[in-house]
Amino acid sequence: MKYFILVILLLTGCGKNDAGLAKNMAMTKDQRAEIENRITPFSIVSVAGAAESIAVEALPGEAKYAACGACHGSQGGGGVGPALAGQTVDYIVGRLNQYKNGEKVGSQSNMMWAQAGMLSEADIQDLAEYVKTL
């Protein structure tokens, strides 16, 4: 967004120097600073008392869990499928590998065979690590 505004300012002749920018935009330094603060990217979180902003990153398995959440709940509390919250990494990895190998684990195994069949070993590990955080 900052770059978009910068391009507009450059194309309109503003921004040749700070004095010209303030004059052309008829704003004070405080107003300009307030605008800059409002267009801060949403992916940056400012922590009170911290010396600098901290970027928020998702865990690798979080995006993969989106499909799982449809049956197991967005927080792993269960629904159509059983609750996953509170399970260990080894348990999740073991179950996903069983499903991937076409083994019957429970009454809904056939639903999981296709889901687990698309996962790589890294995907399974990432999912298990994410489920541990639920």
Q: Residues 88-114, buried b or exposed e (16+ Cβ, 10 A)?
A: eeeebbebbebbbeeeeeeeeeeebbe
Residues in the chain: 134
> What tens digit of pLDDT does each residue of 9-65 get?
555 555 455 555 445 556 788 888 887 777 655 555 555 655 555 555 677 888 889
List of residues 6+ apart from 106 with CB closer than 8 A = 82
Q: What is the pLDDT of residue 22?
A: 47
Q: Would the pLDDT of 69 be above 80?
A: yes
- Conformational region of residue 91, where left means phi above 0, alpha means psi within -120 to 50, and beta covers everything else: alpha
Main-chain dihedrals φ then ψ at residue 45, nearest 5 degrees: -110, 130
pTM score, whole prediction? 0.57
DSSP codes joined into one string, 33-59:
HHHHHHT--TTEEPPTT-SS-EE----
Domains of the chain: 2-55 (no CATH), 60-132 (1.10.760.10)
> What tens digit of pLDDT does each residue of 74-109 get?
999 998 899 999 999 999 999 999 999 999 988 889
Cite the beta strand spans of 9-122 per DSSP E: 44-45, 54-55
